[in-house]
Chain A
Amino acid sequence: MPAEDHVSPVTKHNADETAAPDRFLSLQALTKRYGDTAAVDAVDLDVRKGEFLAMLGPSGCGKTTTLRMIAGLVPTTAGQIVVDGRDLTNVPPYQRDMGLVFQSYALFPHMSVAANVAFGLEMRGMAKADIRARVAEALQLVRLTGYEDRRPGQLSGGQQQRVALARALVIRPLILLLDEPLSNLDAKLREEMRNEIRDIQRRLGTTALFVTHDQDEALTMADRVVVMNKGRIEQTGTPEDLYERPRTAFVAAFVGRTNRFPGTGAGEVVHVGGVTMRCARPVSGPVEVMIRPHRIHLDGSGERRADDNHASGTIIRTTYAGNVVQYDVQAGDTVFNVEQSTDATGALVSVGTAVTLSWSVANTLVFEAAP
């Protein structure tokens, strides 16, 4: 406990939480049950101060429920929510200082943009002049200066999103909670807002929790990503951890595109429908093998090592997508999906061509098959 001496006597009994800067927000066995089903099942999670954490998972896995419990909008069934050493589990939402951005924005339709942003400050009893200054500052932050007197109904989706962001940030929340804030925007705007949210969060040093079911969003924006499935955390790690070192088949399949083959482990090798390949760790019995399409080389492309895995097959389908070409290659009983980046001079390999596939052992991910 190196930070022990900074801890005031009052919070001493909670020294564990306050002392550790990597436990600014700490969820401890957080659980929410609806009837018999657990929407969130004993989730443990620590978030560092100033960190941008993404919660990623399929629909219905409990992301929103977790976020709403942190905001105090959903009562917990069991477990604890501790922020900065303070147990907030039973504190009502209006005393939590959380900045929540809703998927539907949830702006006050009867108030102007300025009044929307000022609301949280008014609730805190701040002086009028200070409110005006802080609102102006917040609107400048989200580049909406000049829109003060508009009603939310007179703004575009992206602008409404920025008002919602300003409204949540202006109270200088303990944690900024974002529930799929970009899902109602078109693709181009979404990309723009991604960077904008990220920049603002970095500049202010706000701790942020960002819920999404879009893996691109999670990987590109977050310092760390939490992958959830069926109310539980599957894996927590940096985007690179999740992509390169997925701990479960679910994570491997959910984060990024991948070939997914059933196989049989036999020590250092696995048999997959007529193709035998080596893998990084010894396995036995039924397994699932995953290989990312763009890590498979077609014929001579890419660097080759002696110990690479190989398979021979025939191209049965070619899909041109601009930056990449996707090939479906029949090898034995297995169809490999292979992705090659395009090149102005490169020619497409046509259907029916016999090819050799190669990929490294490190890119051959093997998981125990789900029972």
Chain B
Amino acid sequence: MSAAATAQGPAQSPRGTTFTAATLLVPILLINAIGFMLPVANLAVISVSEIRSSGAMTGGWSIAKWTTVATDPFYWELLANTVRTSLIVTILTLIVSYPIALCLHRMNGAWKSILLVLVISPLLLSSVVRTYGWIAILSDRGLVNSALAALGAQEPFRLMFNLTGVMIGLTEILMPYMILALLAGFGRLDPRVEEAAATLGAPPYRVFWRVVLPLSLPGVALGSLLTFVLAISSFITPKLLGGGRVFLLATEVYDQAIVTLDWPLAATLSIIVLVVFGLALAVYTRILRQIG
């Protein structure tokens, strides 16, 4: 009765569907406009504003920051450094998260829920707290080096206040996101298909390479995009574990905006980060189209 009513109702006609969809999109469009488009436009304006050495804006315009960024090799290196670090962190996160996600995907029942909660629970803690946790583990007198010293190591390994520490910390902090994205992308995995491969003569490692991995690529792509973007924009962990010796775009934006009070430069660098995001998204879309 109700099915018949809706089947003939306006909501089912093509035009009606489009209209409903558009209506449903209004809230997110509004949020996007107010929370994203507007600030970005504002950033663009700030990046070409003129300032005094005190940081106060004169009200005039200047493209000085853009020319500085374009011509000073420091910023090019900063960009390269940031992209490289984020890529390495993404790959490390993927490698450690993939087996966990696959294992979780294969489980069922109570254990799956318990372990899933365990995987997500780090997200309940602020990354400041987790980074301090890593300091306790990685410092010269920390857990790792104490253990190594007890085993007879003469010199402590420098695991902190350098890029190594930043990468270790970021990898762990980004793992939950990666695992969730992988799980979301594992929908095409089908145990029957793996069994079919086995009966056709594929030993387990070939089943993995020929069937499991290709079918999980959408998850890998999604997780990598998410992790890469989060790695680029993270600044607490690089700041604390880098000890002021690791320079990345996000930490530089923070320093320029809060310490040096050079807002136009901070805005310029922010826009560059945004461009990197856009490029990452474009790459992701291309990859997805290729494997889809």
Could you list which residues of chain A lie within 8 angstroms of chain B, going by C-beta atoms?
Answer: 71-73, 92-100, 102, 104, 106-110, 119-120, 123-124, 167-168, 171
A277 to B190, CA, bound (A): 56
A73 lies within 8 A of B215 (CB) = no
CB < 8 Å neighbour of A73 from B199, B202, B211, B291: B199
Chain B residues closer than 8 Å to A92, beta-carbon distance? 198, 203
Given the known inter-chain contacts A109-B215, A110-B214, A110-B215, please indicate yes or no for A93 contacting B198, CB distance below 8 A: yes
Render B179-202 as a binary contact track against A, CB cut-off 8 A, 1 for contact: 000000000101011011111111
Q: Give B207's nearest chain A residue, CB to CB.
A: A94
**What is the count of residue pairs linking A and B with beta-carbon distances less than 8 angstroms?**
67
Q: Which chain B residue has the least Cβ–Cβ distance from A97?
A: B201
Contact present for A96 and B211 (CB under 8 Å): no
Q: Which residues of B contact A72 (CB under 8 A)?
A: 198-199
> Which residues of A are found within 8 Å of B215, using beta-carbon distances?
109-110
Asked whether A99 lies within 8 Å of B197 as measured between CB atoms, the reply is: no
Q: Taking the nearest CB of chain B, how far is it from the CB of A241, in angstroms?
A: 31
> B211: nearest residue on chain A (CB-CB)?
A108
Residue in contact with B192 in the complex, picked from A95, A102, A110, A167, CB distance below 8 Å: A102
Which residues on the B side are within 8 Å of A124 (C-beta)?
201
Q: Which 5 A-B pairs have the closest CB atoms?
A: A123-B201, A120-B200, A106-B192, A106-B196, A93-B198
- B84 close to chain A: CB less than 8 A: no
Q: Which residues of B contact A98 (CB under 8 A)?
A: 199
Residues in chain B near residue A167, CB distance under 8 A: 196, 200
Distance of A96 Cα from B200 Cα, bound (Å): 9
Let me know if B195 and A120 touch, CB within 8 A: no
Q: How large is the interface on B (under 10, 10 to 19, 20 to 34, 35 or more residues)?
A: 10 to 19
**Contact residues in A for B195 (Cβ distance below 8 Å):** 71, 73, 93, 100, 102, 106
B193, B203, B211, B291: which contacts A94 (Cβ < 8 A)? B203
Alpha-carbon distance between A171 and B199 when the two chains are bound, in angstroms: 10
Give residues in B with beta carbon < 8 Å to A. Answer: 188, 190, 192-193, 195-203, 206, 210-211, 214-215, 291
* A102-B192, A109-B215, A110-B215 known; A93+B206 contact, CB < 8 A: no
Residues of B within 8 A of A99 (CB): 199
Contact status of A107 and B201, CB under 8 A, knowing A119-B210, A123-B206: no
Known: A94-B203, A102-B192. A108 touches B197 (CB 8 A): yes
In the bound complex, residues from chain A placing their C-beta under 8 Å from that of B203 are: 92, 94
Q: Identify 27 residue pairs between A and B in the complex whose beta-carbon atoms are under 8 Å apart, listed by A's number.
A: A71-B195, A72-B198, A72-B199, A73-B195, A92-B198, A93-B199, A94-B202, A94-B203, A96-B199, A97-B201, A100-B195, A104-B190, A104-B192, A106-B190, A106-B192, A106-B195, A106-B196, A108-B211, A109-B193, A109-B215, A110-B188, A110-B214, A110-B215, A120-B200, A123-B202, A167-B196, A171-B200
Min CB distance A82 to B, Å, is: 18
By a CB distance below 8 angstroms, the chain B residues around A120 are: 200-201
Task: Give the complex CA separation of A123 and B202 in angstroms.
Answer: 6
A336 to chain B, nearest CB (A): 41
CA distance A27 to B164 in the complex (A): 59
Contact indicator A100/B202 (Cβ below 8 Å): no
Query: Which residue of chain A has its CB nearest to the CB of B191?
Result: A106
Known: A119-B210, A123-B206. A107 touches B193 (CB 8 A): yes
A94 touching B199 in the complex, CB below 8 Å, given contacts A108-B193, A110-B214: yes
Contacts of A109 in B (CB 8 A): 188, 193, 215
Question: In this complex, what residue of A is CB-closest to B196?
Answer: A106
List chain A residues, Cβ under 8 A from B201: 94-95, 97, 120, 123-124, 171
Residues of B within 8 A of A104 (CB): 190, 192
Interface centre among A95, A104, A108 (most CB of B within 10 A): A108
- Report Cα–Cα, A97/B188, bound state, in Å: 26
Residues on B with C-beta less than 8 A from A110 are 188, 214-215, 291
Q: A102-B192, A123-B200 are in contact. List 4 more A-B contacts (CB 8 A).
A: A92-B203, A93-B199, A107-B196, A119-B210
CA separation between A34 and B193, bound complex, in Å? 23
Chain A residues with CB under 8 A of B198: 72-73, 92-94
Give every chain B residue within 8 A of A97 (Cβ-Cβ). Answer: 201
The winner among A94, A95, A96, A97 for most chain B CB atoms within 10 A is A94
CB distance from A86 to the nearest CB of B (A): 16
Determine which of A71, A106, A123, A168 lies in contact with B193 in the assembled complex, contact meaning CB atoms within 8 Å: A106
Residue in B188, B197, B214, B291 whose CB lies within 8 Å of A119? B197
What's the least CB distance linking B292 to chain A, in Å?
10
Bound together, the chains give a CA A110 to CA B291 distance in angstroms of 8
A100 touches B199 (CB 8 A): yes
CB of B196 within 8 A of CB of A102, answer: yes
Residue of B nearest to A173 (CB): B199
Which of B190, B198, B202 gathers the greatest number of chain A CB atoms within 10 Å?
A: B198
Contacts of A73 in B (CB 8 A): 195, 198-199
In the complex, what distance in Å separates the CA atom of A99 from the CA atom of B196? 9
